[in-house]
Amino acid sequence: MDIWEANARSTQIAPHPCNQTGPYLCTGDECAANGVCDKNGCGWNTYRLGQPNYYGEGPEFTVDTTKPFTVVTQFPADANGTLTGVRRLYVQDGKVIKADAIDKSGVPAVDYATDEYCAATGASAFMRLGALAGFGESLTRGMVLTFSLWWDEGGFMHWLDAKSDGAGPCNATEGDPKIIRTIEPAPQVTFSQMKWGEIGSTFSEA
């Protein structure tokens, strides 16, 4: 589960199901795109969804990444406990910022990731490997929360923030690690006050 892939200019959330229920060492074709795990995931990237002013640097964005904010991820389920979606909220300056409903041809007008959304956006491996119900089962088994600060040596993070990929406002070379090291030799990020609990219990609106 990529619970929050982001920089100051673009962001994505993406569940990645597998058809294995525990530690598993894949071999050969099992490790490839059509193998036992979903490599691409079902991504929710607001820029890619036609909402370029939702997240970015400055007061003109709904979520202003130049100021502290809280990232909220919710996993709603039906009465049987089956996962039905993955929802992203933010809290900034005491205000809860909900996702905007999608207004894009060929994509359902939802404000969080559902199976219908994942199918419409081409997440075929996600659907093949169990979709939200199957992914929810892996959440039930338990996951370990990890944090990292990294760059993409081969792809320059184009999948996350490149204008050429429709994923964000960045140009073709901004994600090159050689350029990053020149502009920002000591990048850093602060994660704090992690919480988990029932939906709606981990944050409040001032």
Q: Is 133 inside a domain boundary?
A: yes
Sorted by sequence, the CB contacts under 8 Å of residue 203 that are 6+ apart come out as 70, 72, 89, 91, 96, 195
Token representation of residue 133: 């119900």
DSSP label of 99: P
| Chain position carrying tokens 């939702």 | 54
DSSP label of 77: B
Per 3-state DSSP, the chain is made up of helix, strand and coil in percentages (nearest 5) of 20, 20, 65
How many residues belong to the chain? 206
Q: Is 160 inside a domain boundary?
A: no
Backbone angles phi, psi at 68, to 5 degrees: -60, 145
Q: Which of 169, 184, 191 is nearest to 55 (CA)?
A: 169
Q: Is 202 inside a domain boundary?
A: no
Token representation of residue 95: 């205000």
pLDDT digits (tens, 9 = 90+) for 20-41: 998 999 999 999 999 999 999 9
pLDDT digits (tens, 9 = 90+) for 60-119: 999 999 999 999 999 999 999 999 999 999 999 999 999 999 999 999 999 999 999 999
In angstroms, what CA-CA distances link 162 with 35, 49, 72, 104, 176? 27, 14, 24, 19, 11
The confidence score (pLDDT) of residue 204 equals: 84
Report yes or no: 202 and 162 within 8 Å, Cβ to Cβ: no
Q: How many CB atoms lie within 10 A of CB 60?
A: 8
Whole domain around residue 133: which residue ranges? 2-145
Please report, rounded to a whole number, the percentage of residues in the chain having pLDDT higher than 90: 92
CA 155/CA 27 separation, integer angstroms: 24
Q: Is 206 inside a domain boundary?
A: no
Q: Is 123 inside a domain boundary?
A: yes
Sign of CA dihedral 144, 145, 148, 154: positive
Q: Is 19 inside a domain boundary?
A: yes
Q: Is 71 inside a domain boundary?
A: yes
pLDDT digits (tens, 9 = 90+) for 152-187: 888 999 999 999 999 999 999 999 999 999 999 998
Number of domains in the chain: 1
DSSP label of 101: P
pTM above 0.95, yes or no: no
Q: Is 42 inside a domain boundary?
A: yes
* E strand or H helix that includes residue 137: helix 131-141
